[in-house]
Amino acid sequence: MSPILVFVDHDHGTPKKVSNQIITAARQRGGGEVHVLLMGEGAGAGAAQAGAHGATTAYVWEAGEVAEYATEPAVAGLVAALEASGATTVLYPADPFMSDVVGRAAVRTDGGVVTDVVDLTLDGTEMVGTKPIFGGAMISRCKVRGGRPAFYGVAANAFAAEESGGGPPEVVPLEVDLDDTATRTRVVEVVEQSAGGRPEMTEAGVIVAGGRGLGDAEGFRLVEQLADVLDGAVGASRAATDAGWYPHQHQIGQTGKTVAPQLYIGAGISGAIQHRAGMQTAQTIVAINKDADAPLFAIADFGVVGDLHKILPPLIEELAARKG
Amino acid sequence: MRIICPVKRVPDTAADKSIDQDTLTLDRDASDPVLNANDEWSIEEAMRIKERDGAEVIVLCVGPENAQTTIRKALSYGLDGAIQVADPAIAGSDAKAIARVLAAALAEEDFDLVLMGNQSSDARTMLVPAMLAEYLGLPALTYAKRLQLADGSATVDRETPSGHQTVTAPLPAIVSVVEAINEPRYPSFKGIMAAKKKPLETRDLAALGVDAGEVGLANSSTQVLEITPRPPKEAGDKIEDDGSGVVGAKALVEFLAAQKLI
Ligand SMILES: Cc1cc2nc3c(=O)[nH]c(=O)nc-3n(C[C@H](O)[C@H](O)[C@@H](O)COP(=O)(O)OP(=O)(O)OC[C@H]3O[C@@H](n4cnc5c(N)ncnc54)[C@H](O)[C@@H]3O)c2cc1C
Ligand SMILES: Cc1cc2nc3c(=O)[nH]c(=O)nc-3n(C[C@H](O)[C@H](O)[C@H](O)COP(=O)(O)OP(=O)(O)OC[C@H]3O[C@@H](n4cnc5c(N)ncnc54)[C@H](O)[C@@H]3O)c2cc1C
């Protein structure tokens, strides 16, 4: 059985939660060894945590070229690690940056990509991915045809991270050849909007989303406070981002992001089909809306009919009190 | 300046989806298909460049014969012409096979910029822009919420989870755009009438020199094994607040606690 290679997303050497989840899934579902790839400045520091979750070999490329979002050096690193490890299956965290990296890598290696996988099963020696399609209205099982490098994008929180009891992995420095095309795209400036220390939407276990019912940008302070007591991220409907109340990258839905947190709370969101297309695979859905007929209630596990401006403040207070 | 806008014909999000259980592909004629919404932003951006600096803008669509309604819709925004790649062998292609066909069509053209949506609403793989760039050996500037062209390069503000990054690359380049980039116009009556007369060229795989054995359902690098409907979700409990907010908040806290979510 050839090893499975897991692309580890990390923040200055600290692997993100989703990476630990994917390493765990690779160990439990893959039927072989788990190798990991750590790229970028300070990446090697993440090897120990990868080992704790079950990785036996870590390919490390501490390259400055792999600045955040510099796609082409990352593609070269991924292809080099694929060759070095002898893996035929790559698992990576499904997100927009990785779709660029893996899209190029699949063309370069004549592989195939299955995106947004929420479960993995082994069919003989081949991996098969389960993915929700059409906003979760249907479920499909897909695989990459045998004999090709297979790339599976794994959704955050699809698997629970569990430590394996294993020790640190063998660390193998990765040799990567970069030609000039790898550096023709240059990052000139990085602009961070204050995320208030909140998790990214695609990583978060909890998302509190606000819509037109908030009334104005100020209404999002309530949504932020609720997100904070739940250690969650903030999402928004298109009506809210179009109005300029919250940045577009927080938009959930057909023309925004697809999210699948453990808990989604929609406040002042009607639940139009285009919004639901991005969130209806959330494990638990809560709707707060003054209109008892709002479509979001139809898919909500729990609904509160009422004025969010009245409901959110005592809700935040009670949750904060419980948190202590 | 010559700009090419790849556009996809997709089923309306609001329509019921139907799967052909023999081929395990989407029955694309079961409902009225539409122009992928994200491609309206790339068209709008191309139109703004055309109006500001002058440019020829061409639509490129890989899709069956009846995708022409979608192509005419795209043209109605004021674009100059269209190329359609249609061939029965393309049916059922995955993202890489579609990118392969788009790349072959683009290889025959002169262009400075390929402007496209960041994703389409049916499959949403977000793979095609990067795959296309790799086939053509070009830089890709993706998820752009702002685009500037100057001195033979493209510079974009690329949306990231926590803000944006300004990224630049020499032309020719592939640029994919997100919704925040602009507000698409409505086609004018004049535009709709003019679209009927705009040149539309069709090509098949042979004309592009693509081997039919590289594309289509049977030759794609991915394979769908099974598609099943997800049982519709039952609505859960719904409680009415009494206007104070406290009743609603309390009930919600109890629900979250019972679900072990807090
Ligand atoms: C539900 C579903 C799930 C799928 N999952 C996968 C998968 O996991 N892996 C995989 O390889 N394939 C998958 N496919 C196949 C894939 O949709 C199509 O092969 C292909 O057309 C790419 O579409 P996309 O939506 O992924 O494109 P995206 O990459 O999301 O679209 C980006 C842009 O590419 C351009 N574009 C896309 N398609 C065309 C076209 N035909 N003509 C012109 N421009 C175009 C548009 O400008 C669009 O805005 C799936 C299809 C469906 C229906
Ligand atoms: C091509 C296309 C793509 C789209 N993509 C997206 C997308 O990605 N994401 C997205 O979200 N939408 C998208 N939309 C838009 C979508 O159709 C809806 O217009 C949008 O989701 C509505 O946002 P909303 O629910 O915040 O606003 P509304 O529909 O106006 O709903 C506001 C809700 O707030 C409630 N409310 C008002 N005041 C209060 C109060 N004080 N307390 C409690 N409740 C209150 C109202 O009862 C109402 O239900 C798209 C549309 C199109 C055509």
Mean pLDDT in residue range A84-112: 97
With 90 as the cut, is the pLDDT of residue A205 above it?
yes
- What is residue B67's DSSP assignment? G
With 70 as the cut, is the pLDDT of residue B46 above it?
yes
Q: How far apart are the first and last CA of chain A?
A: 49
Distance between CA atoms of residues A248 and B236, nearest Å: 30
Strands (E), A18-111: 34-39, 57-61, 89-93
Mean pLDDT in residue range A8-19: 94
Q: Is A39 on the interface with B (CB under 8 A)?
A: no
Min mean pLDDT across A54-58, A165-169, B19-23, B196-200 is at B19-23
Alpha carbon of A234 to ligand 2 centroid (Å): 16
Within 8 A of A266 by CB-CB distance, chain B residues are: none
Query: Hey, how many other C-beta atoms are within 10 angstroms of the C-beta on B137?
Result: 8
pLDDT digit string, tens, across residues A40-80: 999 999 999 999 999 999 999 998 888 777 899 999 999 99
- What is residue A75's DSSP assignment? H
With contact defined as beta carbons under 8 Å apart, do A51 and A6 qualify? no
Q: Which residues contact A27 (CB under 8 A, 6 or more apart)?
A: A34, A53, A54, A164
With contact defined as beta carbons under 8 Å apart, do A220 and A245 qualify? yes
What percentage of chain B exceeds 90 in pLDDT? 88
Residue for token digits 């890598």? A105
Distance between CA atoms of residues A36 and A291, nearest Å: 49
- Considering every ligand atom shown, identify the ligand nearest to the alpha carbon of residue B37 and give its number: 2
With 70 as the cut, is the pLDDT of residue A271 above it?
yes
Provide the pLDDT for residue B61: 98
Distance between CA atoms of residues B232 and B105, nearest Å: 42
3-state secondary structure of A324: coil
Distances (CA, A) of A275 to A233, A244, A279, B25, B237: 17, 17, 7, 24, 21
Query: Hey, how many other C-beta atoms are within 10 angstroms of the C-beta on A274?
Result: 19
Half-sphere exposure of A79 (CA within 13 A, CB side): 21
Q: Which residues contact A190 (CB under 8 A, 6 or more apart)?
A: A68, B163, B165, B166
Mean pLDDT in residue range B200-228: 97
With 80 as the cut, is the pLDDT of residue B29 above it?
no
pLDDT digit string, tens, across residues B77-112: 999 999 999 999 999 999 999 999 999 999 999 999
The answer to whether B241 contacts A191, with C-beta atoms less than 8 Å apart, is: no
3-state secondary structure of A159: coil
Distance between CA atoms of residues A32 and A87, nearest Å: 10
Provide the pLDDT for residue B22: 85
Provide the pLDDT for residue B53: 96
Residue for token digits 């999210």? A259
Q: Is A129 in the pocket of ligand 2 (CB under 6 A)?
A: no
Mean pLDDT of chain B: 95
B236 vs A111, A148, A301: nearest CB? A301
What pTM value is reported for the model?
0.96
* A183: amino acid identity, one letter: T
What percentage of chain A exceeds 70 in pLDDT? 99
Edge-to-edge strands, sheet with A89-93: A112-117, A150-154, A89-93, A4-7, A34-39, A57-61, A170-173
CA-closest candidate to residue A7, choices A151, A125, A127: A151
Query: Which token pair is B150?
Result: 């100057």
Residue for token digits 């053509």? B136
With 80 as the cut, is the pLDDT of residue B31 above it?
no
ipTM: 0.95
Within 8 A of B246 by CB-CB distance, chain A residues are: 314
Q: Is B37 in the pocket of ligand 2 (CB under 6 A)?
A: yes
B-chain residue closest to A112, CA distance: B221
Distance between CA atoms of residues B164 and B159, nearest Å: 4
Provide the pLDDT for residue B18: 80
Distance between CA atoms of residues A321 and A323, nearest Å: 5
Mean pLDDT in residue range B234-241: 94
The full 3-state SS of B102-144, as one line of letters, equals HHHHHHCCCCCEEEEECCCCCCCCCCHHHHHHHHHCCCEEEEE
Provide the pLDDT for residue A131: 96
Q: Whose CA is nearest to atom 5 of ligand 1?
A: B123
With contact defined as beta carbons under 8 Å apart, do B117 and B144 qualify? no
Mean pLDDT of chain A: 95
Ligand 2: which of A257, A275, A311 to mutate, judged by most atoms within 8 Å of the beta carbon? A275
pLDDT digit string, tens, across residues A138-168: 999 999 999 999 999 999 999 999 999 989 9
Higher pLDDT, B93 or A202: B93
Reported as a pLDDT band with limits 50, 70 and 90, residue A195 is low
Provide the pLDDT for residue A158: 94
Reported as a pLDDT band with limits 50, 70 and 90, residue A121 is very high
Mean pLDDT in residue range B112-118: 98
Distance between CA atoms of residues A246 and A262, nearest Å: 23
Candidate ranges A198-202, B186-190, B227-231; pick with highest mean pLDDT: B186-190
